Amino acid sequence: MQHHVDTAVLDAAALFAIAMGGQVAEQSDNPGPKPTKVTVSAPVGVWLSADGTVRLDIKTDGTYAGKVAGRKRRASGTYDLAGRTLMLSDDSGLHTPVAVGDGVLEMAGHRLGRAF
C-alpha cells in the first residue's frame, strides 16, 4: 500500500490570506526566493513543553528553530515529514525524530503542545 501526502507550495502572502479567509493579492515587485515544498499536514507553528523549557518553531518554508532552556546553542535546520514522524535535521548534522500525535509532538523525552 502506498501512502501519498499532499503537498503545496505557499508563500507568506498565500498563507496569511488562507488564515484570514481572503484572496491572495498579486505581487508585482520581486517576490524573493521561492519557498520550498512543504507538506500540508506538517505541524507548522510554535510548540512548547508544559514547563516552557523546550520550544520548537516549525516554519512553512521547511525549516525549524528550537530552544532548550539551559543550552546556549539554539537548534535550527530543516525537517521532513514521513507519516507521523517529523525528522529534524540540525545544521550540525544531528537528526532527531519527532512523533506527531493529535495536538502533541513527542521528541527526546519531551511532550510539546501548540503555543497559542
The CATH code of the domain that includes 105 is 2.40.128.290
| Confidence grade of residue 25 (pLDDT, cut at 50, 70, 90) | very low
Would the pLDDT of 2 be above 70? no
For residue 2, being part of any structural domain is answered with no
| Confidence grade of residue 42 (pLDDT, cut at 50, 70, 90) | confident
Residue 115 vs residue 23, higher pLDDT: 115
In this prediction, residues 72-95 reach a mean pLDDT of 93
For residue 51, being part of any structural domain is answered with yes
| Confidence grade of residue 33 (pLDDT, cut at 50, 70, 90) | very low
* Number of domains present in the structure of the chain: 1
pLDDT given at position 70: 92
For residue 110, being part of any structural domain is answered with yes
For residue 109, being part of any structural domain is answered with yes
Would the pLDDT of 8 be above 70? no
For residue 1, being part of any structural domain is answered with no
Q: Give whole-number Cα distances, 89 to 16, 33, 96, in Å.
A: 27, 21, 7
Is residue 39 within 8 A of residue 55, CB to CB? The reply is no
For residue 55, being part of any structural domain is answered with yes
pTM score: 0.64
Secondary element (H or E) of residue 97:
strand 95-100
Domain extent, residue 84, equals 7-114
Is residue 59 within 8 A of residue 49, CB to CB? The reply is no
